[in-house]
């Protein structure tokens, strides 16, 4: 009895330990996010994620040089300014504040300066940073925008030679609303006091300039327009058109606006990408090359493909509720599988197996049932024959045949089919006489010899 109680206590303690380990493992799995930075490197500056190849501090960001040393070693360096609350991440190349870094989209969102003209208490002729020589460019998610009353704004590209004219890359003209020169209609840039235009692909450097306003009808132009405050800037169009942005107050309130930069990391440009090794560029290591732009986790994986083992399997069974619609979802490496439960056996089987097994089972049941019916019917007929044989003097006939008193050659026992044929289908005209056992019929054998046949009465 004591030994039995001791075993129960050990079993209870073991179950508690197993439950505790499972609970702790689940908590750790939930509480441990996927790594985004190199080991022993900061993943955040303030509330902004800093994923590798970007990084804070020496050894935490990607370094390298392209052909002829055109790329600088600090292209992906982020400086965390802890003098502010919260801390601000600054892009080392330009000291511009970083708003967001996306590995999936391969974009860097920074605050870029606005170019002002004739605006009090605003910096004069501030320009967007020159990205030439860096693996960055201005994304086409941006729009070149000008806020002015009837002003013309240009995007120009300076030539490498002083004697060559500037190249105009784009521009726009806004119409002045004489009643309110600062208000934008319906908080949208539709041409009144504000204008926009798209930008060329892979743009890396430009200057914002303003042109003279000329009336196409020959009328005199209000001289105040030339001296009124105007601005031009490149801006993230999603931010600009969001409901939270009041674009009418940009000239008065802001000096910087969000800009989206594209970036790339290609093996053809960097010679010392040794953090993940060349084999991690293949699909065998859960990452694939997206052209020459960089790395991307394979389908079914997520994480940071620039880190060693940075791509992790996605649990599709937890990602979407009821993914299998009543079935059992089994997560697999890079995917998932839906299985369904057999109600009787409670074992998981595939739909195809269920259909095939059901068909084979029904066919077997039908064949077995038909065969059983034939066997039972045959046995029943044999028993009936034996019963009728005994009831109609069969035993007496056997005794006479075995005694030798009757000539066996003169006696023949007919079955029902032979008897039906011999009596012409039991024709009453063939009856010769009738006794206690039944009628005596004139029959004929296969040799056409006339023979008297004794048939039994039907009871």
Distance CA(167)–CA(239), nearest Å, equals 28
CB-based contact 153:209 (threshold 8 Å): yes
Selection from 126-130, 186-190, 242-246, 378-382 with the highest mean pLDDT? 126-130
Contacts of 103 (CB under 8 A, 6+ apart): 36, 51, 304, 305, 306
pLDDT tens column, 386-418:
777 777 777 777 777 777 665 555 566 666 777
pLDDT of the residue at 293: 56
Please name the residue that has the structure tokens 């539709």.
190
250 vs 36, more confident: 36
pLDDT of the residue at 257: 94
Residue 184 has pLDDT above 50, yes or no: yes
Residue 68 has pLDDT above 90, yes or no: no
pLDDT tens column, 42-58:
999 999 999 998 999 99
* DSSP-assigned letter for residue 175: B
**Which of 142, 170, 169 lies closest to 260 in space, CA to CA?**
142
Residue 191 has pLDDT above 90, yes or no: no
pLDDT > 70: percent of the chain:
63
Q: What average pLDDT does the segment 19-24 reach?
A: 44
| Distance set, CA 254 to CA 101, 113, 258 (Å) | 22, 9, 11
Q: How far is CA 433 from the centre of its chain?
A: 94
Q: Quick one: pLDDT band at residue 196, thresholds 50, 70, 90? A: very high
CB-based contact 177:195 (threshold 8 Å): no
Q: What average pLDDT does the segment 209-224 reach?
A: 63
Q: Quick one: pLDDT band at residue 208, thresholds 50, 70, 90? A: very high
Distance CA(441)–CA(67), nearest Å, equals 121
pLDDT tens column, 231-263:
999 999 999 988 666 777 787 778 999 999 999
Q: Quick one: pLDDT band at residue 82, thresholds 50, 70, 90? A: very high
| Distance set, CA 295 to CA 36, 62, 434 (Å) | 14, 14, 109
Distance CA(454)–CA(441), nearest Å, equals 6
pTM: 0.62
348 vs 325, more confident: 325
Phi, psi of 267 (to 5 degrees): -65, -25
pLDDT of the residue at 40: 93
Would you call the peptide bond into 153 cis, given omega within 30 degrees of 0 as the criterion?
no
pLDDT of the residue at 453: 56
287 vs 209, more confident: 209
pLDDT of the residue at 361: 84
Residue 75 has pLDDT above 80, yes or no: yes
CB-based contact 440:433 (threshold 8 Å): yes
pLDDT tens column, 418-443:
777 777 777 766 666 565 555 555 55
Distance CA(51)–CA(98), nearest Å, equals 12
pLDDT > 90: percent of the chain:
22
241 vs 309, more confident: 241
Pairing of strands 142-147, 230-236: antiparallel
Mean residue pLDDT across the chain: 74
pLDDT of the residue at 55: 95
| Distance set, CA 150 to CA 271, 330, 428 (Å) | 51, 63, 127
Residue 33 has pLDDT above 50, yes or no: yes
């Amino acid at each position: 009895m004591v030994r039995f109680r001791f075993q129960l206590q050990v079993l209870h303690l073991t179950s508690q330990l197993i439950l505790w380990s499972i609970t702790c493992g689940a908590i750790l799995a939930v509480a441990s996010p996927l790594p985004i930075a190199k080991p022993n490197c900061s993943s955040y500056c303030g509330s902004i994620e800093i994923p590798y190849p970007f990084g804070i501090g020496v050894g935490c960001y990607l370094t390298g040089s392209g052909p002829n040393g055109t790329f600088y070693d600090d292209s992906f360096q982020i400086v965390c300014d802890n003098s502010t609350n919260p801390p601000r991440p600054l892009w080392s190349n330009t000291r511009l504040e970083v708003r967001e870094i996306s590995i999936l989209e391969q974009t860097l969102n920074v605050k870029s300066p606005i170019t002002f003209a004739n605006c009090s208490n605003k910096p004069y002729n501030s320009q967007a940073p020159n990205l030439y020589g860096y693996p960055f460019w201005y994304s086409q998610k941006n729009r070149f925008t000008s806020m002015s009353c009837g002003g013309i704004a240009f995007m120009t590209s300076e030539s490498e030679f002083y004697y060559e004219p500037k190249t105009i890359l784009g521009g726009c003209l806004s119409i002045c609303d004489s009643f309110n020169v600062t208000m934008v209609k319906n908080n949208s840039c539709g041409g009144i006091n504000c204008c926009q235009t798209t930008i060329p692909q892979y743009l890396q450097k430009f200057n914002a300039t303003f042109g003279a306003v000329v009336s196409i009808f020959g009328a005199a132009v209000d001289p105040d327009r030339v001296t009124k405050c105007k601005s031009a800037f490149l801006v993230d169009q999603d931010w600009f058109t969001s409901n939270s942005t009041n674009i009418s107050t940009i000239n008065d309130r802001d000096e910087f606006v969000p800009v989206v930069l594209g970036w790339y990391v290609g093996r053809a440009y960097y010679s010392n990408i040794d953090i993940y090794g060349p084999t991690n560029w293949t699909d065998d290591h859960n990452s694939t090359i997206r052209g020459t732009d960089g790395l991307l986790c394979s389908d079914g994986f997520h994480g940071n493909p620039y880190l060693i083992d940075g791509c992790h399997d996605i649990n599709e069974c937890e990602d979407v509720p009821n993914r299998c619609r009543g079935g059992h979802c089994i997560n697999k490496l890079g995917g998932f599988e839906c299985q369904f439960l057999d109600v009787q056996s409670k074992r998981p089987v595939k739909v195809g197996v269920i259909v095939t097994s059901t068909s084979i089972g029904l066919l077997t049941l039908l064949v077995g049932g038909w065969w059983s019916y034939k066997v039972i019917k045959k046995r029943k007929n044999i028993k009936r024959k034996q019963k009728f044989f005994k009831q109609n003097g069969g035993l007496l006939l056997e005794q006479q045949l075995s005694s030798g008193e009757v000539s066996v050659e003169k006696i023949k026992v007919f079955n029902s089919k032979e008897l039906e044929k011999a009596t012409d289908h039991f024709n009453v005209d063939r009856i010769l006489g009738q006794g206690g056992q039944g009628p005596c019929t004139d029959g004929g054998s296969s040799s056409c010899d006339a023979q008297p046949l004794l048939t039994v009465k039907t009871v």
